[in-house]
Structure 1
Amino acid sequence: MTADTTTPPPFGRALCAMITPFTATGDLDLDTARQHASRLVAEGCDGLVLSGTTGESPTTTDAEKTALLRAVRETVGKAVPLVAGVGSPDTRHTLRLAREAEEAGADGLLVVTPYYSRPPQAAVETYFSRVADAVGIPLMVYDIPGRTGTRIEPETLLRLAEHPRIVAVKDCSYDLLAATKVMSRTSLAYYSGCEELNLPLYALGGAGYVSTVANVAPRQMRAVLDAFDTGDTAGAAHLNELTIELVELMMASGLPGTVTAKTLLPTGPVREPLQPAGDEAADALRGAHERLLAATLAERP
């Protein structure tokens, strides 16, 4: 394969890694999920990623994942790409989740590297190929070695790119050299999974982002890409700078992004073992969020 920069991103550019709302008693809250999904799309998200890390996939049941996907699909319609998280450390379980997500209306699958067992690269390659062979919808492979313990090495990605249904990467490797190498030699669409690298990766030819921060600032995250696309690179850099305080507090403060996002949203609690943010962290998050919204509102024509 060769890279083709004219090919539209398979799931859009600005994707939100959507939180999963729960009621006060910890049950799945589909009404709030529908409302939140509608707002995200209305405020600039091209697509939504459900049941990923931010969606608390480790603590939601298979039935809850399917119910959430069906509810969001009914709400946003067929025109909005929905990518369902289906990865697990068990290939059989992942295959079952993949088929169920396809049946429930997913446009694509987010498949994380098998975690904990730390399989070698040949086994990683076989895992992703097995999932891609089992469904008729495209895959976004999720490279996040900091959580899984296993990197998807560039040479593995080069081979996986030959599969017709492996079309994208959610990149949390923090390795721009490797990403550039793979993008230059394949047609894989690279989505940044680390907000601080959204603009750098996009400038190198990335497809866009899958963002946790977009749950609370969808317009502001998208505006960076929009400015870059018009050729206003200085404007894109400035808009990106405005997001940094909130990005750092949400994604690099020692709290999981799920916790920080739900601190700023009326979407219910996190599930244990996660715990809510403390008062000091919550106040800092709210302050940064308010400053970002005020700054971007002041700059509108």
Structure 2
Amino acid sequence: MQLQGVYTALVTPFSGGAVDFGKLGELVEMQVSAGVDGIIPVGTTGESPTLTYEEHQQVIETVVKTAAGRCQVIAGTGANSTSEAIAMTKHARAVGADATLQVTPYYNKPTQEGLYRHFSEVADQGGLPVVLYNVPGRTGVAIAIETVVRLCGNNNIVGMKEAGGSVERVSAVLDQCDITILSGDDALTLPMMAVGASGIVSVASNLIPAQMKQLTDAMLEGNWMAAQDLHRKYYPLFRDQFVETNPIPIKAAMAMAGLLEEEYRLPLCPLAPANREKLAASLKSCGIL
């Protein structure tokens, strides 16, 4: 499975407390029309912790059905229970997902041996290519480079989303094994791709999918100046989409742009007024509003 370019970590739209599946379909069409390489439903940005199992599965089904093979769909089916991750991954395979994004098990903080066994079991039993998701700021534990190297021996593990905030770690991993790496931070797309990453799992592309596609295409083509221009133009968005916990700011920004109704599920709540003003100013400086 080839992984490269821009993969949108899709938000989950709500209306009146329920998942808005009609709007979800519209957002998928927007992404496909912009030419993204893939869509990742029900990850961190998709508010997976507050979706019921049934909603989680329905979101994946809706995204797969709407995308209809026009781009890859990498389903977020990770869990802090190995058996649960396997079950969710089997469902994603049954409805037609192309791969699974597997977050490091959270809260229970497994050892590196536990991580190795967890990801190996999902890869062996889930039936889908696995993209590892290293995000220690969310999960409390990182996938050590040595563990990544061990996991590279499993043919069903095809890539890793690197959201640890370290460009140097990309070089360190690629120095020891051949695995496809996708940046997990929009602001690090350019430098991570410069040292060997193949693309980005993007939050910003919920709002600017075509522009993020242009940035990754420019990097893959070696057009550094064009990529740098795009990075500089949209850096205020990259920065301020994390002015509060993701996905609060990106959903607020999308609402400002008229793309969805701004609604969250507790414990997530709307932006503080001062941060809303800061975000709006950044969107204006980028030419989005």
The TM-score normalised by the length of structure 1 is 0.90
Mapped to 2, the partners of 1:267 and 1:11 lie a distance apart of 31
Residues paired across the two proteins, number: 284
Mapped to 1, the partners of 2:210 and 2:202 lie a distance apart of 12
Helix, strand or coil at the partner of 1:271: coil
The AA in structure 1 aligned to 2:172 is: K
**2:10 maps to which residue?**
18
Mapped to 2, the partners of 1:232 and 1:96 lie a distance apart of 42
Farther-moved stretch of structure 1 (82-91 vs 26-35): 82-91
8 Å Cα contact 1:12-1:81 kept in structure 2 = no
**1:163 maps to which residue?**
154
**2:66 maps to which residue?**
75
8 Å Cα contact 1:66-1:104 kept in structure 2 = no
- Does residue 123 of structure 1 match 2:117? no
**1:35 maps to which residue?**
26
Per-residue CA shift, 1:225-247, capped at 9, x if unaligned? 22233332122112111111111
Counterparts in 2 of 1:97-136, with a 5 A limit?
A: 97-136=88-127
Per-residue CA shift, 1:53-105, capped at 9, x if unaligned? 00001000111111111112221112311011111111121111111111121
Per-residue CA shift, 1:6-40, capped at 9, x if unaligned? xxx724411100000111x1101110000011101
Q: Give the CA deviation at 1:294.
A: 5.8
Tell me: CA distance 1:271–1:289, structure 2 relative to 1, closer, same or farther (3 Å): same
Mapped to 2, the partners of 1:96 and 1:141 lie a distance apart of 17
Counterparts in 2 of 1:150-229, with a 5 A limit?
A: 150-229=141-220
The CA RMSD measured in Å over matched residues stands at: 1.6
Structure 2: give runs of 5+ residues left out of the alignment: 255-259
Query: Which of 116, 120, 128 is equivalent to 1:137?
Result: 128
8 Å Cα contact 2:218-2:226 kept in structure 1 = yes
Farther-moved stretch of structure 1 (215-224 vs 52-61): 215-224
**1:148 maps to which residue?**
139
Tell me: CA distance 1:205–1:73, structure 2 relative to 1, closer, same or farther (3 Å): same
Mapped to 2, the partners of 1:78 and 1:218 lie a distance apart of 18
Q: Give the CA deviation at 1:45.
A: 1.4
The TM-score normalised by the length of structure 2 is 0.93
**2:286 maps to which residue?**
292
Mapped to 1, the partners of 2:171 and 2:24 lie a distance apart of 36
Counterparts in 2 of 1:243-262, with a 5 A limit?
A: 243-251=234-242, 253=243, 255-262=244-251
Q: Once superposed, which parts of structure 1, at least 4 consecutive aligned residues long, lie more than 3 Å away?
A: none
Structure 1: give runs of 5+ residues left out of the alignment: 1-8, 296-301
